[in-house]
Amino acid sequence: MTQLSEAVALLKAGNAAAAQKLLLKETPASAQHFFLLGACEHAQGHIPQAVRSFTKALEQEPSHAQAACALGSLYAGLGRQAEAEALFRQTLTHTEDAQLRFNLAVVLEDQCRHDEALAEYSQLLQSDNHNYAARHNRAGLLAKLKRLADAARDYRLLVEEYPQQTLPKHNLGEIELALGNYEAASSLLLKVLESEPANDKALLSLAVAQAANAEIRASQQSFRQLKTLAPQRWEEARVRINGKIGNDGDIDPRLLYLIRQQDHMQACNWKSWERFGEIFSDFINAPGYGDTLALAYISMGAPVSPREQLRLTQHISQQVERECTPYLHSPAASPKRLRIAYLATQFGYHVTGLLFRNFFAAHDHQSFEIYVVSLGTPDNSNNLEKIRNTPGIHWVDLSALNDEHIARQLYELNLDIIVDLAVYNDSPRPRVLAHKAAPVQVSWQGAAYSTGARFFDYLISDNISSPTEQWCSEAEARIPDCYFLFSHEEIPPLVPDRTSLGLPDNKFIFSCLNIASKIEPEIFSVWMDILQQCPDSVLWLLAQSSAQVLNIKREAEWRGIDPRRLVFANRVKPEEHIARSGAADLFLDTRLFNGHTTVAETLWAGTPVLTCPGDKFCSRVGASLVKSCGLDELVVSSWPEYRDMAISLYQDRSRLHKLRESLAKNRLLAPSFNMRQQAHHLEKAYRHMRERFAQGLPPAPFNIADLPD
């Protein structure tokens, strides 16, 4: 055995010191000798010496790939990525080596030069399609870049080619979970656990996948196993799932399922629609642990009743109130100038800011001192700047404070009334309201549901939006006509021509530019029936994702409609969106959760809206807006009537033309578009609310129209 061969054997046996001693018996005379000496030094932690030895090896033989790989890896470990990259690239000019190119890709990835790293991994795979390390790293990088479908393809190939390896199965299972392929995720993760029963990370992901797939009992069992196997990981998961306001109890898979379903609703994936309704009702009637704030918004588009929705928000409010001590307010005479604070988490380039940007200036500032309080990080948009600079208001940014300190600041302002424009939506901070910083607290417009909270006294509604059955915990203050507020430019927008919007010039355009999560299978079936009876028409929808577009086209095809009759609009700036809304012939409102802002925008743009009020507050707002614009005949009482009306207007264009003409006049006077009128109504309401408090009377429902001016 030669000296070099003997040194290699000693290195492989883990005896680097002996190998080094053997190599030093002779003066190094070759690149391989220097390389092996560097390997011995590296193994013993003598990094500077190893760098020198590897460098000498490359000086003697610039194409020595092993020395370049070793030296480059040392450079990278020392944070000298640029030197490592230069070394790898230089050596590759002398020799093509797979390990060298792989190391180059790793260094590029470490420098966040992702496209270059992907190119290197891909070149390796072109040369050798079975290169495990290159495919595994490429899959991981694709996953990091959120290119999940591409990552999944690489992991699937690894799973097929290397069935004994559990890591690709585990990673693919995580990606299938993220993609919403819950059965595939569960199958893969179960195989991982067969090989590695103590893999607690895989067990946690399995529990989540089972919950998301509505396998509630199986998920409960997996979480129990996790609690036994890895109590710390279970506790971390419980804290993460149950959140800030969740109870200190178990993990409820039903909550995970309901939260995940929102993603599917946004993609118009209705495969589990009936099961979704069943589990939602079951959860409401027997609520478990976990932060349920997000369910308030989800409930608006879910098939639950007004009473169930109220039970849900009451449960949420009880969670919110935990550990919150409300301030006490003794009845006192109403001041001549009331102090009113409007609260929201997003006042900038967001629906709240856009809806209210013209409103605050409309108040009577001689009689009302107006505070606009931001609880969320400002976006520094032009819209936010406009609100900040509204004459006569106090702009207050409390976003950097915690809930308790915000409540203290509000309390010290000696406010008469707080009006919350967000409640449980849009990065909410309801604990601020739970401290009861003002004697009267009001919910308006931000949430089309009851707060269910003792710390809210009133809710602003109207006679049409308000459901008939007992549905809210607050006292209703009903505005004449429509409670909704919509800020707009002075004159309606000019409508672009249809061809510029990708719409056919010679077709009847039905539209529904509501967000995709408001569309559900029943209303979609009604729409497809309308298209069936109106052959020279298309349906114009809002595209939010490729998955949503593919799903909804598939749903149309299953109902016998050519998917090419569905035309999709991409997201644009709000002013462009409002203008293009006028290009449709007739807007078809959604069923469980009407268009609110979208319906107001569409009416302002000049397109009539057909709607059918439902049982919940959020399913009646469309009717209120439409009637406020004088289009009473477009508010129908049943879905067969809705279908027949749409078909009738398709067939009778002169009737539709008259409706458009009527809308063109009425929208200029509609209450929702009249800032001063809405402000006047609210000012009357605020006076009445504050006076009841001054008299020591509890909140009580009233109609603002009945109050004296």
pLDDT of residue 38: 83
pLDDT of residue 385: 93
Percent of the chain at pLDDT > 90 equals 85
In the block, which residue shows the tokens 């915690």? 402
| Residue 218 structure tokens | 């199986």
In this predicted model, what pLDDT tens digit does every residue of 198-219 receive, in sequence order? 999 999 999 999 999 999 999 9
| Nearest Cα residue to 407 out of 291, 293, 320 | 320
pLDDT of residue 244: 67
Question: Apex CA 591: angle with CA 586 and CA 596, to 5°?
Answer: 70
Q: Which fold has domain 3-207?
A: 1.25.40
Q: Are 26 and 3 in contact (CB under 8 A)?
A: yes
Instruction: Give the chain's largest Cα–Cα span.
Output: 109
Q: For residue 544, which phi and psi values (nearest 5 degrees)? A: -115, -20
Judge if 3-207 and 324-492+675-709 fold alike in CATH terms: no
* C-alpha to C-alpha distance for 612 and 639, rounded to whole angstroms: 7
pLDDT of residue 415: 98
Q: Are 58 and 91 in contact (CB under 8 A)?
A: yes
* Average model confidence (pLDDT) across the chain: 94
* C-alpha to C-alpha distance for 419 and 457, rounded to whole angstroms: 10
Percent of the chain at pLDDT > 70 equals 99
For 324-492+675-709, CATH number?
Answer: 3.40.50.11380
pLDDT of residue 12: 87
pLDDT of residue 226: 97
Tell me what the mean pLDDT of segment 639-644 comes to. 98
Q: Are 503 and 530 in contact (CB under 8 A)?
A: no
Q: Residue ranges of the domains in the chain?
A: 3-207, 211-304, 324-492+675-709, 498-667
CA distances (Å), origin 132, targets 68, 146, 168: 21, 21, 10
pLDDT of residue 277: 96
pLDDT of residue 248: 66
To the question of domain 498-667 being in CATH 3.40.50.2000, the answer is yes
pLDDT of residue 334: 93
In this predicted model, what pLDDT tens digit does every residue of 327-381 receive, in sequence order? 999 999 999 999 999 999 989 888 999 999 999 999 999 999 999 999 998 888 9
pLDDT band at 290; cut points 50, 70, 90: confident
In the block, which residue shows the tokens 């707080």? 418
The pTM (predicted TM-score) of the whole model is 0.88
The alpha helices in 375-450, defined as continuous H runs, are: 382-388, 403-412, 430-434
Q: Check residues 280 and 28 and name the one with the higher pLDDT.
A: 280
Task: Please give the sequence-ordered ranges of beta strands (E in DSSP) within 260-413, or none if there are none.
Answer: 338-344, 368-374, 393-397
Per the rule left: phi > 0, alpha: psi between -120 and 50, beta: everything else, 449 is: beta
* pLDDT at position 110 over 90: yes
In this predicted model, what pLDDT tens digit does every residue of 548-607 receive, in sequence order? 999 999 999 999 999 999 999 999 999 999 999 999 999 999 999 999 999 999 999 999
Tell me what the mean pLDDT of segment 250-256 comes to. 93
Please list the residues that pair with 338 across neighbouring strands. 368
